[in-house]
Amino acid sequence: MTRFALTVEYDGRPFQGWQRQSSGPSVQRSLEEAAFAVTGEAATVHAAGRTDAGVHALAMRAHVDLTKDIAPFRLMEALNARVRPAPVAVTACEVAADDWHARFSCRARYYRYIVANRRAPLTWERGLAWRVPQPLDVEAMAAAAAVLVGRHDFTTFRSVHCQADSPVRTLDRLVVTRVDDRITVAASARSFLHHQVRSMVGCLALVGMGRWAVADMAAALAARDRAALGLNAPPDGLFFVKADYPPPSP
């Protein structure tokens, strides 16, 4: 049995999310069906994160265990040939240690959310960014983002369907920047709650619109109550950027 570590890129628009489910297509199922077509093995593909419906990935890390004797490059090429026409691509593949796990070995996850702050509708970017037509104050958004950095109870920013044992998370980074009419919110943490990034971005947008003050963000966090959430941003602009892992043991 060989464990293969994969780097996967995908457009989340056609999928119900990463995780295999009966209600519709998923990234996981697409890769597992491709792996079966290549090897004849019913293998499970594990990922660093379980992205929601409509959420994209630039470099999702995953792994799969296979008994077939196949070189990593050949496996990558074969998976990419079989997964078509789904908008999924394996961009890297290598042999991993038996104890390396895409999810449980991960020590940091990075997300990026793109806001198109413009009046005009989106064309080719539809589904790849969240269009907010009202002018947004990025300096106010950045000040509100600073309130959320650190170790907190993020119940307010957690989906009611979240299955995590605890709502406490340490948010290492939440940075808001603007280039022309594109606002980027970059977030990193060891792990995130279900809908946490989208919920934080939605409330940051309220601050940017002037509907919330920085104090309102602090009050929402302190409330530890989902009912205190102001706005949950859509999945369109959310991208899983990368995952970090400890260096391999010498």
Q: At what angle do helices 72-83 and 27-39 cross, to 10 degrees?
A: 120
Evaluate the CA torsion angle 190, 191, 196, 198 in order and state its sign.
Answer: positive
The full DSSP string for 9-34 is EE--TTSSBSS--TTS--HHHHHHHH
Burial code (b: 16+ CB inside 10 Å, e: under 16) for 165-177 equals: eebebebeebebe
Query: What one-letter code names the amino acid at 73?
Result: F
Say which residue the tokens 């040939």 belong to.
81
Distance, first Cα to last Cα, the chain: 22
Q: At what angle do helices 196-209 and 138-148 cross, to 10 degrees?
A: 140
Distance, CA of 114 to CA of 118 (rounded, Å): 12
Active site residue 165: no
**Residue 42 Cα distances to 36, 67, 217, angstroms:** 6, 11, 46
- Please report the beta strands in the chain, taking only residues with DSSP state E, as ranges in sequence order: 2-10, 45-47, 56-66, 88-96, 108-116, 130-131, 150-153, 168-179, 182-189, 238-244
Catalytic residue among 52, 180, 181, 244: 52
Distance, CA of 111 to CA of 191 (rounded, Å): 11
**Among all residues, which ones are annotated catalytic?**
52
